[in-house]
Amino acid sequence: MSYRALYLSNTPEFSVRVAELDELPEGDVELRIAYSTLNYKDALAIANKSPIVRAWPMVAGIDAAGVVEHSTHPGFHPGDAVVLNGWGLGETRWGGLAQRTRAPGDWLVKLPPPLTPRDAAAIGTAGYTAAMCVQALERHGLAPGDGPVLVTGATGGVGSIAVALLARAGFDVVAVTGKAAAAAYLQGLGAAAVLDRGELAVPGKILQKERYAGVVDTLGSHVLANACAQVKHSGAVAACGLAMAMDFPASVAPFILRGIALYGIDSVYAARARREAAWSRLADALDPTLLGAIAREISLAEAIPAAQAMLAGQVVGRYLVDVNR
């Protein structure tokens, strides 16, 4: 059975197109995909701007949400609504920007009510990663009374969901962005204050005034270093992104003299129990009406120009991809 997919080829030179395919990757569960998303990693792969793809040819997309069509896995049955994130999708294994796929059932998560496949795609890896960041701060023991929480890259997918989840949990959220025009958007998600990214994007002192009980960082580099330098004693930082750079020009001083903790968040190969806990948190705590403000729906073909816009820093929120149009 043929299906449409966003197909990347590198022979004899790089190309990207919507193609008709008639083969699927291996797996004991076959999915009829309803929606995917466009993440920053997807945009890099589609534009061939970074060595994201490690096996050619490739179907792009690190997210897929839909319904089980066939299954030999005991945990899944036809009609189950599921979400698939990470596990090398769009990098080493054909991804979710397609109408169909197969995957090992152990990689899938059944969607907890009231989430639908459309909701799950609007949330995507970005939102699921945000939930893991928030849970890391809470496991550390942070509570709203401890002080404000800083969220960097707040207009992106991870940042937007993190702002919403933290605000819903009662935290005062300070949202960091380089997009001054997005202040109203962030306040609508629940941010108590909006900070210009430029204040954190340059080298700073190794210890600065204690301002934040915790941080969700998606940027890395000087922003992460300055954020750590401003965390209160016994606070925590959840780092999950490298959008600014991979370096970390910091000192051990905040970790030793103030006893702060830095948690690295890997959502790609996270254990199933952690995945299920994150999706349960999203189902319980994320206001579904906010997804309308966060997600903009596009077609499969529109993902190609949308990737360029994302890399140019022109995107606020999330791209939700209807793979069937």
CATH at residue 244: 3.40.50.720
Residue 89 belongs to what domain range? 3-114+293-322
Predicted confidence at residue 105, as pLDDT, reads 97
Flag the least confident range among 223-227, 294-298, 303-307.
294-298
H or E, element range at 184: helix 183-189
What contacts 24+ positions apart, CB below 8 Å, involve 138-141?
Answer: 138/169, 140/214, 140/236, 140/261, 140/263
- 135 in the same domain as 86: no
What would the pLDDT profile of 181-225 be if each residue is shown by its tens digit? Answer: 999 999 999 999 999 999 999 999 999 999 999 999 999 999 999
Find the mean pLDDT for residues 280-296. 88
Taking the complete model, does pTM exceed 0.75, yes or no? yes
Predicted confidence at residue 92, as pLDDT, reads 96
Predicted confidence at residue 259, as pLDDT, reads 98
Residue 5 CA to residue 301 CA, distance in Å, equals 9
Domain total for the chain? 2
Contact (CB, 8 A) for 245 and 179: no
Residue 48 CA: distances (Å) to CA of 44, 62, 281: 6, 15, 34
- Nearest-5° Cα angle at 52, 47 to 55: 110
> What is the b/e burial string over 146-176, where b = at least 16 CB atoms within 10 angstroms of the residue's CB?
bbbbbbbbbbbbbbbbbbbbbbbbebbbbbb
Find the mean pLDDT for residues 42-54. 92
- 197 in the same domain as 243: yes
Burial label for 266, CB within 10 Å (0-12, 13-18, 19+), is: exposed
- 174 in the same domain as 232: yes
- 257 in the same domain as 159: yes
Residue 14 CA to residue 47 CA, distance in Å, equals 9
Predicted confidence at residue 295, as pLDDT, reads 86
CATH number at residue 301: 3.90.180.10
